[in-house]
Amino acid sequence: MSGVMRAYIGVVDAVNYRVGRMIMYFIFVLMGILLWSSISKTFFLPTLWTLEMAQFVMVAYYILGGPYSIQMGSNVRMDLLYGEWSLRKKAWFDLFTVMFLIFYLGVLLYGAVSSTAYSLGYWGAEPFSFLGGILIGSEEVGRMERSSTAWRPYMWPVKSIMVLGLFLMLLQCISELLKDVLRLKGEAI
C-alpha cells in the first residue's frame, strides 16, 4: 500500500512542481500587460483589453501556483505553536486539518465546474450532466457567457483555468495527506 502512496505522491508532486515553475513566470506576463496599459493610456489611446487581461493572468498565476505553494510549504501558517511541535505532532495536526481543506476544495471544484458549464452555455441544474451531454450530444446549450465589460471576452477560458487549478490543488492536498500518513507510520518520504 505504501508503494501506491509513494507513486501517487511522486506523480502529483512532479506535475505540480512543473506547473508551478512554469506559472511562476506569469508575473512577467502580468507586468508586461500592465506596462503596456500604462504606456497606452499615457501616449496613445487606452486599450480596452489590458486591465481585464491582467486580471485573467493574475487568476492563472494565483490558482495554478497554489498547489506548488502547498508542496513547497510556503503557504501561510500560524507558527505560534506549530513551529515548536515535533514532526509526529505536526503530522497529526496536518492530517486533521487537511481533511477540512479537501472538503472545502471539493465544494469549490463543484462550484467551478458548474460555473464553467454555465459559461459554455449550459443552463441546467446539474453541471456534471453537462459533461456527459457533451460526450453523448443530448444536452441543450445556449450562448456562451461573455464578460459585461466593453471588451466582452468569453469567460470559459479563465473558468477552465480555475477548474484545473482547483483540481491540481485537490490532488496536492491528497498528496500531503498521504505524506502525513507515511510520516505517522515512521517511513521516510
Residue-wise DSSP of the chain: -HHHHHHHHHHHHHHHHHHHHHHTTHHHHHHHHHHHHHHHHHHSPPPSSHHHHHHHHHHHHHHHHHHHHHHHT-S---HHHHTTS-HHHHHHHHHHHHHHHHHHHHHHHHHHHHHHHHHTT--SS-HHHHHHHHHHT-----PPPB-SSSS--BSHHHHHHHHHHHHHHHHHHHHHHHHHHHHHHT---
- Write down the pTM of the prediction: 0.85
Return the percentage of the chain with pLDDT > 90, whole number: 59
Q: 78-97: per-residue pLDDT in tens?
A: 778 888 888 889 889 989 99
Residue 139 pLDDT: 54
Ordered by start, the domain boundaries in the chain are 2-77+85-185
